[in-house]
Structure 1
Amino acid sequence: MTEVITAHDLGIVLDAKDERALFKWFVASFLMGKRIQAPIAAKAFHLLVNEHGCDSPDLLARLSHRQLVAILGKAHYVRYDESTATRLSALALRLVNEYGGRFSALYSTHTDRHTFERRLLEFDGVGPKTVEIFMRDAAPVLF
């Protein structure tokens, strides 16, 4: 049975007006959405956000590919470290370039959950499992 880790478990208090909290939960969901053990994904999240301060798209986008791979490796997120590093960078850059670095800009124009979920799936590396994890905790505060 897969361990379920919630936003609360990671110390994230979700609020529709809290950009950083929503972004952090999206990153955590992205990491947990891969075929990797949830505790390893949680450790990668903590290293990325708490130790390296990447709690916004701008800050995450500043890390090099090599830095991201090293952080993921330190968390033993090794099976997908290269591809995940590439996709995390792309995710952050897209949020910066297309949404002004504001996670709220991604969902504020969508009044219905289905359209928002389709928008999330447009990010490289975000699949149905990532969306399911993210929406499990985020939907009650967003919709």
Structure 2
Amino acid sequence: MNKTISAEDLNIHFKHNDDAALFKWLLASFLMGKRIQAEIAAEAYRVIADKHGRDTPSKLAACSHRELVAMLGEAHYVRYDETTAVRLHALARKLNDEYAGKVSHMVEASADRQAFEKRLAEFDGIGPKTVEIFMREAGSAISL
């Protein structure tokens, strides 16, 4: 059975509309939202954000596809490494291009929680499971 991994387990601590923590949790939620063991997804987050310091949308967007695949491989996140690398890159670019790299700008652009969740789901690779994981922890940190 998969253990539920919390933001705290990944050393992510939310303050009100804290963009750094919101993005880190979005990245972790994205990785955990796939059909992959939670611990492998958590390790992929640690490798990307902690070990390699790709913990902001601009730093993640600056990665090459090959670098992202290598980081995912380092964490044994190999089942979906190619598509995940493409989608992580797209996630970072879209966040940078449409929301100036800030999850809080997505919050501000949303009338309510439902509208925010709809915006999240517009990112390639983010489905209902990823939205659910993200909102489970971040819901109280964003004001909607």
The bucket for the TM-score relative to the shorter chain is over 0.9
1:80 match? 80
Superposed CA deviations along residues 42-66 of structure 1, whole A, max 9, x for unmatched, are 0000000011111110000000000
Q: Distance in 1 between matches of 2:33 and 2:17?
A: 24
Query: Equivalent residues in 2 for 1:45-124 (5 A)?
Result: 45-124=45-124
User: Could you say what the CA RMSD is over the residues aligned between the two structures, in angstroms?
Assistant: 0.9
Aligned length, in residue pairs:
143
Residues 101-134 of structure 1: CA distance to partner in whole angstroms, max 9, x if unpaired? Answer: 1121111122411110011000000000000000
Cα deviation for residue 17 of structure 1 reads: 2.8
The residue number in structure 2 matching 1:9 is 9
Residue type at the aligned position of 2:41 = A
Aligned-partner residue type, residue 4 of structure 1: T
In terms of mean alpha carbon deviation, does 101-110 or 120-129 score higher? 101-110
**In structure 1, distance between residues paired with 2:60 and 2:141:** 24
* Displaced runs of 4 or more, over 3 A: none
Paired with 2:112 and 2:15, the residues of 1 have a C-alpha distance of 17
Q: What SS is found at the alignment partner of 2:42?
A: helix
Listed one character per residue, the Cα deviations across residues 70-97 of structure 1 (whole Å, up to 9, x for unaligned) are 0000100000000000000000000111
Distance of 2:17 and 2:127 partners within structure 1: 25
Aligned to 1:139: 139
Structure 2: state its 5+ residue gaps: none
Give the share of equivalent positions with the same residue, in percent: 57
Query: Matched residues in 2 for 1:100 and 1:138: separation?
Result: 19
AA matched with 1:74: E
Larger displacement relative to structure 2 (81-90 or 12-21): 12-21
Q: What does the per-residue CA deviation read over 1:18-71, in whole Å, with 9 as the maximum and x for residues that have no partner? A: 111000000000000000000000000000001111111000000000000000
Partners of 2:16 and 2:111 lie apart in 1 by: 13
